Structure 1
Amino acid sequence: MEIKLLKPKELTSETQDQLMGLLDQISPGKIPLMTMKLFDQQNPLTLVYCLLEGQVVGMASMCTYKVHSGYKGWIEDVVVDHRARGRGIGRKLMEKLIEVSREKGLSRLLLFTEDHRKAAVHLYKDLGFQFKDSQIYQIRMDQQ
Structure 2
Amino acid sequence: MTIEILQKSSLTPSIAQQIRSLFNQLNSEISQLIIDKVLVPDNTIVFAVCREGDELIGMAAMATYKVISGHKGMVEDVIVSANHRGKGIGKKLMLKLLEEGKKQQLNEILLFSGHHRLPAITLYKSLGFQLKNSGLYTLKVG
TM-score normalised by the shorter chain: which range applies?
Answer: over 0.9
- Rounded to whole Å, the distance in 2 between the matches of 1:114 and 1:7 is 29
* Aligned residue number for residue 79 of structure 1: 79
Q: Which whole-Å deviations, capped at 9, do the CAs of 1:23-81 have from their partners, x for residues lacking one?
A: 10111122200001012232101100000132000000001000010000000000000
The size of the alignment, in residue pairs, is 142
TM-score if structure 2 supplies the norm length? 0.98
Alignment of 1:1-144 (within 5 A): 1-142=1-142
Amino acid at match of 1:26: L
- Rounded to whole Å, the distance in 2 between the matches of 1:41 and 1:54 is 26
- Rounded to whole Å, the distance in 2 between the matches of 1:25 and 1:133 is 29
Amino acid at match of 1:110: L
Amino acid at match of 1:10: S
Segments of structure 2 that go 5 or more residues without pairing to the other structure are none
User: What secondary structure does 1:50 align onto?
Assistant: strand
Amino acid at match of 1:46: V
User: What secondary structure does 2:50 align onto?
Assistant: strand
When structure 1 is superposed on structure 2, of 20-29 and 71-80 the one drifting more is 20-29
User: What secondary structure does 1:137 align onto?
Assistant: coil
User: What secondary structure does 2:77 align onto?
Assistant: strand
Contact conserved, 2:64 with 2:72, CA < 8 A, in 1? yes
- Rounded to whole Å, the distance in 2 between the matches of 1:125 and 1:21 is 28
Moved over 3 A (4+): none
- Rounded to whole Å, the distance in 2 between the matches of 1:97 and 1:133 is 23
TM-score if structure 1 supplies the norm length? 0.96
- Percent identity, aligned pairs only, is 39
